[in-house]
Structure 1
């Protein structure tokens, strides 16, 4: 809406001082021509905007003028918890609301603190998604987040590893983990369990119009921490005995994270060629085989025997596949 944009323009000039038309256009995501029209509208409304010409020119408010229109709306106040994550805020449909809330806060700060806040923004940035992975498409994120805010039951169709399922859920909270959105919700089935759903796997979402009561004492952060701990404990199902070359030792933490770092910390003494023996926690045999193949010939699996046999079988099958002419 134009009224919101005019307020944002006014707050930008108040909090940042002199700005050129292109700078304002970039901040407001409009054309330079629109900025010209909006500045004229502010002037017509009695706001003393001065225009300077030349290379150091731009728009600024007359010295001493400050607007007091800095009170936060309910939506703006709610959006502030995402102040360090503009990408997720945009995903939730709060991008414009968050931008206005931040401008209002900056405009209300004393001059010295406002400058420090802008310096902090210029020097620190949070980028939530993981490297080298496209973000999940989340077409229903806005509907899900609205249901979380308003405590409304959702009727959903969901694609699980067992196939498509239909559920009525009490949405308790949203979590962004490694660039992936998850919904923590209580199922309305017979067990009424609290489970985690990947938002990108919702095939349809419908607000039932019904409210629900949150479980007594439920805390999203504590629940997520405990559920992550349980998932981590289930994830690792065995220990691989490895023999690693110097290159394999360098690759292990990069490819396997904490499990690789932990394995290296407990490795034995290097032999004459620099190879060491180490034990590393691994997932199921099929996952462990595909993961360990990334180490190529810089690692040898010594045990357990079934993992070594599975790896040897996979390597033999690959060798046979590529031995034949295409």
Structure 2
């Protein structure tokens, strides 16, 4: 038996989840224990997750789930799997990009010969367009968006966060926001991830200085704003969580409700324009109240007056910025300057 044959036989022997000592393996294959050590080392170097457990009940074992039972796919199921892989690859920031490629290679290698041409067919016939830029919500100045380095950093943040979710461990990271001065160091207990409009959002419990979850501790962090991140060895007891409680825009609806405070932007507009904004991915979560005179007053949180002014100009002459009051003077000055240029 060659070394490769013996290593493969060891792999099959461990595939049932049992733990086998080096002595037992040496006796079974009629080689020395030192030879078994070298065989297991070769398996580990090729990426096979063989672990050694110490103690009287110890030995070598294979990571649970490394081998999957044989599966067969219909033509439609194969297309569905390849489309899923293509969609994941088409994301702006695909986490585990290398594993995505190797998974596709393994899938194609396991397919019957008659189904292998489907890979080329799906790549040639079906494409996925990425979401377009939102003109009303541009990136904040200084954001490193779209560069290879920024995408790689975001992918790393998503990968580390997701691994922490699966392992039940905490993470530490430095987070940067456009509305805060300086970066914030945060320790969190990850719960899940959400992908929305080509952005990854990390969901977790923010821990206080004593590593305890304060009131309303659940937070959303944009992965592209994570400056540094590292996993922690600390484990936390799992908390009830279901990402389906946040999809359908519910996460944004809750955030908009928090932002809609005393200093919120309030705009009076015609009913027809309000109905159009109710269909927008962002503005549909604003608060809309009839004013009793056939118009609607929309309220939402906004810290940048320029963005609010753009919306008012888009709404047209029937719209009126009601608050914040200091912004009214700024908008009046801008509109006066525009009229002066048109009159020149």
Shorter-chain TM-score: which interval?
0.5 to 0.7
User: Contact 1:170–1:186 at 8 Å: present in 2 too?
Assistant: yes
Give 1:157 deviation, angstroms.
Answer: 2.4
Residues 175 and 226 in structure 2, CA contact (< 8 A), matched pair in contact too: yes
1:148: Cα distance to partner?
Answer: 2.5
Secondary structure at the counterpart of residue 176 of structure 2: strand
- Residue matched to 1:218: 241
1:125-136 alignment, distance < 5 Å = 125-131=127-133, 134-135=145-146
Distance 1:234 1:256, change over 3 A: farther
Q: Say whether the 8 Å CA contact 2:266–2:322 is kept in structure 1.
A: no
2:205 aligned with 1:186: yes
Greater Cα offset, 193-202 or 315-324 = 315-324
Determine the structure 2 residue equivalent to 1:157: 174
RMSD between aligned alpha carbons?
4.8
Q: Which consecutive aligned stretches of 4+ in structure 1 deviate over 6 angstroms post-superposition?
A: 71-74, 259-263, 321-324
Shift of 1:218: 1.5
Equivalents in 2 of 1:243, 1:112: separation in Å?
Answer: 60
Question: d(CA) in 1 for partners of 2:285 and 2:231?
Answer: 46
Q: Which has the higher helix share?
A: 1
Q: Distance in 1 between matches of 2:304 and 2:172?
A: 34
2:211 is equivalent to residue 209 of structure 1: no
Give the distance between the partners of 2:317 and 2:242, measured in 1 at CA. 45
Identify unmatched segments of 5+ residues in structure 2. Answer: 1-64, 69-80, 140-144
CA distance in 2, matches of 1:224, 1:234: 18
What is the aligned residue count? 233
Q: CA deviation at 1:242?
A: 2.6
Q: Does 2:276 correspond to 1:257?
A: no
Partner of 2:252: 228
Secondary structure of the corresponding residue to residue 257 of structure 1: coil
Structure 1 runs not aligned, ≥5 long: 1-70, 268-276
CA shift at 1:297, angstroms?
7.9
C-alpha distance in 2 between matches for 1:278 and 1:122: 51
- Cα deviation per residue 1:50-83 (whole Å; 9 max; x = unaligned)? xxxxxxxxxxxxxxxxxxxxx9878xxxx99755
Between the aligned partners of 1:258 and 1:140, the Cα distance in structure 2 is 23
What TM-score do the two structures reach when normalised by structure 1?
Answer: 0.52
Match of 1:103 in 2: 105
Compute the TM-score of the two structures, normalised by the length of structure 2.
Answer: 0.50
Q: What displacement does 1:153 show?
A: 1.8
- Matched with 1:124 is 126
Does the Cα contact within 8 Å between 2:90 and 2:128 map onto a contact in 1? no
Deviation at 1:195, TM superposition (A): 1.0
The answer to whether the 8 A contact 1:85-1:127 is kept is: no
